[in-house]
């Protein structure tokens, strides 16, 4: 029997703003769409958190035995600066600055995105469509929305008529915004705008002469609005109604709100049953974002080449750090938090590596069946990874007690414990054992810290020959000491 028939999953639905029992449209099968990256720069850690959150969802649904079609798009055109309906295309701007073709920008950063997600051991989606690969579908949707009277054409551009839509539908229901309040708080339109109202958004934009990325349409040579691509691709690959739509919290408005409006105008149906939004990762107390420069790249974490962390951290430790917070919670990034996650990860892996060596007895002093169900209960509660990890640490504690002869386990329960731990650690969380040369990172840190302490004592005693020898000998084996006002740190 598939696990999903015995486990009851609850998902927090951003649309209803409460947890709901998950019931798929088609029994045993799930359609899930997640907004992917705009590929104009390297993917930063805040972006990665969103995609890893939905990798966890994807993995758990598969673990439960669902057949999942996971669609995650690549935005390679139409996303203008500041998420607006005017300004320069982000990819075209990068191409102009670097004096290369826009598709060179797309290729470079799509490869970077794939490589980075592979380092995190994220599963690829079932389908990864691009905006430029679905221009025909987007034009077809615009034509249908125009026919139904929910859009209008002005000077070669086509805009969605939010006020007209709101007469028979509810615009703002996902983000909880009231259209009347939005109108009251909006500025008057500038004279050069083609929009009837500030709330209207572009379905198609006529390209200015300098705009490189353009396609032929019934209205003008131009390009589709940013919001439209997701409606086109989700409808094509998942149908007019599907189960789960995910993305970052910052996409709730206007992007996802506009998606709902477009889809309802196009199909006359509510497109998605469960909306899920992952929260932000902060750095220095501020949201990580490409646009502000307040971000850190994954490869900077893995290499240690950054000004934030005291040393490098592996992709799996970084991932473990992120899963120690619930996907809907804000998570602050710091060196101390990563070091704590690394210690916890090492403790968990040490326990798993003890499983094959554990002695078995005639009784088990821990309720393994109840513990196993508690792991499922955690994930069934809106994919609560921190509670799951707490349960995994309970198992690690028990394993160490058995090893020290302070507890006992039967052979049958040991097999269940081993199977369950491997399922949740490696299949659901997608963690990996770090390479053999990196497994002793914690022990290496302790040894280097001891040498730093001895060096500090030598310097205090004005024994500079010894302090310099410690620094230089460490440098020859690739460990660099950094003296600062807060003490000495090291990097590999």
**Sign of CA pseudo-dihedral 325, 326, 332, 333:** positive
Tokens coding 317? 């430790």
Q: What whole-number distance in Å separates Cα of residue 259 and Cα of residue 35?
A: 11
* pLDDT score of 436: 43
* pLDDT score of 437: 43
272 beta partners: 242
* pLDDT tens by residue, 206-239: 999 988 899 999 999 999 999 999 999 999 999 9
175 beta partners: none
Q: Percent of the chain scored above 70 by pLDDT? A: 95
* pLDDT score of 129: 98
Q: What is the 3-state secondary structure (H, E, C) of 234-280?
A: HHHHHCCCEEEEEEEHHHHHHHHHHHHHHHHHHHCCCCEEEEEEECC
Nearest alpha-carbon partner for 327 in 407, 411, 388: 388
How many other C-beta atoms can be found within 10 angstroms of the C-beta atom of residue 185?
8
Cβ atoms 153, 188 nearer than 8 A: no
* pLDDT tens by residue, 303-353: 999 988 989 999 999 999 999 999 999 999 999 999 999 999 999 999 999
Residue 473 has pLDDT above 80, yes or no: yes
- Position of tokens 């919290």? 249
Cβ atoms 308, 296 nearer than 8 A: yes
Residue 146 has pLDDT above 70, yes or no: yes
The secondary structure of 18-35 as a DSSP string is: EEEE---SBTTEEEEEE-
CATH fold of 296-437:
Isoleucyl-tRNA Synthetase; Domain 1 (1.10.730)
User: Three-state DSSP class for 149?
Assistant: coil
* pLDDT score of 379: 98
Query: DSSP H helical segments within 69-130, as ranges?
Result: 90-98, 102-119
* pLDDT tens by residue, 294-311: 889 999 999 999 988 989
What's the gap between Cα 25 and its chain centre?
25
- Per-domain residue ranges of the chain: 3-281, 296-437, 440-491
| Common-topology check for domains 3-281 and 296-437 | no
* pLDDT tens by residue, 392-438: 999 999 999 999 999 999 999 999 999 999 999 999 999 999 854 44
Average pLDDT score over residue span 35-59: 96
- Give the CA radius of gyration of the chain: 26
Residue 441 has pLDDT above 70, yes or no: no
Q: What whole-number distance in Å separates Cα of residue 168 and Cα of residue 150?
A: 10
CA angle 282, 303, 290 (to 5 degrees): 35
Average pLDDT score over residue span 276-303: 87
Q: Percent of the chain scored above 90 by pLDDT? A: 78
The secondary structure of the chain in percent helix, strand, coil, rounded to multiples of 5, reads: 50, 15, 35
* pLDDT score of 453: 85
Report pTM. Answer: 0.87
Neighbouring residues of 187: CB distance < 8 A, sequence distance ≥ 6: 198
CA angle 237, 241, 244 (to 5 degrees): 80
Cβ atoms 28, 65 nearer than 8 A: yes
**Strands, E assignment, 50-166:** 67-72, 151-154, 157-160
- Position of tokens 């009347």? 180
Neighbouring residues of 234: CB distance < 8 A, sequence distance ≥ 6: 33, 71, 242, 245, 259, 263, 271
At 150, is the pLDDT very low, low, confident or very high (cuts 50, 70, 90)?
very high
Tokens coding 17? 């703003």
Q: What whole-number distance in Å separates Cα of residue 2 and Cα of residue 8?
A: 12
Cβ atoms 57, 383 nearer than 8 A: yes
DSSP for residue 38: B
At 485, is the pLDDT very low, low, confident or very high (cuts 50, 70, 90)?
low
Considering only 63-72, 103-112, 291-300, 433-442, which range has the smallest mean pLDDT? 433-442
Q: What whole-number distance in Å separates Cα of residue 266 and Cα of residue 235?
A: 10
Q: Please state, rounded to an integer, the average pLDDT across all residues of the chain.
A: 93
User: How far, CA to CA in Å, does 374 sit from each of 281, 400, 431, 441?
Assistant: 28, 20, 20, 31
Tokens coding 3? 């696990």
What CATH number has the domain spanning 3-281? 3.40.50.620
Cβ atoms 250, 280 nearer than 8 A: yes
**Strands, E assignment, 262-311:** 272-278, 281-283, 286-287
Residue 253 has pLDDT above 70, yes or no: yes
User: How far, CA to CA in Å, does 486 sit from each of 310, 333, 433, 483?
Assistant: 12, 19, 33, 8
């Amino acid at each position: 029997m598939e696990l999903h028939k015995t486990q009851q999953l609850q998902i927090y639905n951003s649309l209803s703003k409460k947890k709901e029992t998950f019931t798929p449209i088609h029994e045993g099968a799930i359609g899930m769409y997640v907004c992917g990256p705009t590929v104009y720069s390297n993917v930063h850690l805040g972006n990665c958190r969103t995609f890893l959150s939905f990798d966890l969802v994807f993995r758990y649904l598969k673990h439960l035995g669902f057949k999942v079609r996971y669609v995650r798009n690549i935005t390679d055109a139409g996303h203008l600066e500041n998420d607006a309906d005017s300004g320069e295309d982000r990819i075209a701007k990068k191409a102009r600055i670097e004096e290369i073709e826009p598709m060179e920008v797309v290729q470079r950063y799509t490869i970077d995105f794939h490589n980075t997600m592979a380092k995190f051991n994220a599963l690829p989606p079932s389908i990864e469509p691009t905006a430029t690969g679905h221009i025909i579908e987007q034009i077809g949707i615009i034509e249908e929305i125009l026919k139904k009277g929910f859009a209008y054409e002005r000077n070669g551009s086509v805009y969605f008529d939010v006020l007209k839509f709101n007469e028979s539908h509810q615009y703002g229901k996902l983000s909880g915004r009231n259209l009347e309040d939005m109108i009251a708080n909006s500025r008057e339109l500038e004279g050069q705008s083609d929009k009837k109202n500030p709330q209207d958004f572009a379905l198609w934009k006529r390209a200015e002469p300098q705009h490189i990325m353009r396609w032929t349409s019934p209205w003008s040579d131009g390009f589709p609005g940013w919001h439209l691509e997701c409606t086109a691709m989700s409808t094509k690959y998942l149908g007019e109604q599907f189960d789960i739509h995910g993305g970052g919290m910052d996409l709730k408005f206007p992007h996802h709100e506009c998606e709902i409006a477009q889809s309802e105008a196009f199909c006359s149906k509510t497109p998605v049953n469960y909306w899920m939004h992952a929260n932000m990762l902060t750095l220095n107390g501020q949201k990580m974002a490409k646009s502000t420069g307040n971000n850190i790249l994954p490869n900077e974490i893995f290499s240690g080449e950054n000004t934030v962390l005291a040393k490098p951290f592996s992709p799996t430790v970084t991932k473990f750090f992120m899963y120690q917070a619930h996907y809907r919670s804000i998570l602050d990034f710091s060196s101390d938090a990563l070091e704590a996650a690394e210690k916890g990860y090492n403790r968990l892996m040490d326990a798993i590596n003890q499983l094959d060596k554990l002695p078995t007895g005639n009784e088990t002093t821990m309720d393994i069946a109840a513990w196993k169900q508690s792991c499922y209960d955690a994930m069934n509660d809106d994919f609560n990874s921190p509670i799951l990890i707490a349960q995994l640490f309970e198992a690690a504690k028990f394993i160490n007690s058995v090893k020290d002869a302070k507890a006992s386990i039967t052979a049958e329960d040991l097999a269940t414990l081993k199977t369950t731990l491997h399922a949740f650690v490696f299949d659901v969380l997608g963690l990996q054992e770090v390479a053999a040369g990196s497994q002793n990172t914690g022990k290496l840190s302790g040894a280097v810290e001891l040498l730093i302490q001895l060096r500090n004592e030598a310097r205090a005693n004005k024994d500079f020959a010894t302090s310099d020898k410690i620094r230089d000998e460490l440098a020859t084996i690739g460990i660099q000491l950094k003296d600062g006002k807060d003490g000495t740190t090291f990097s590999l």
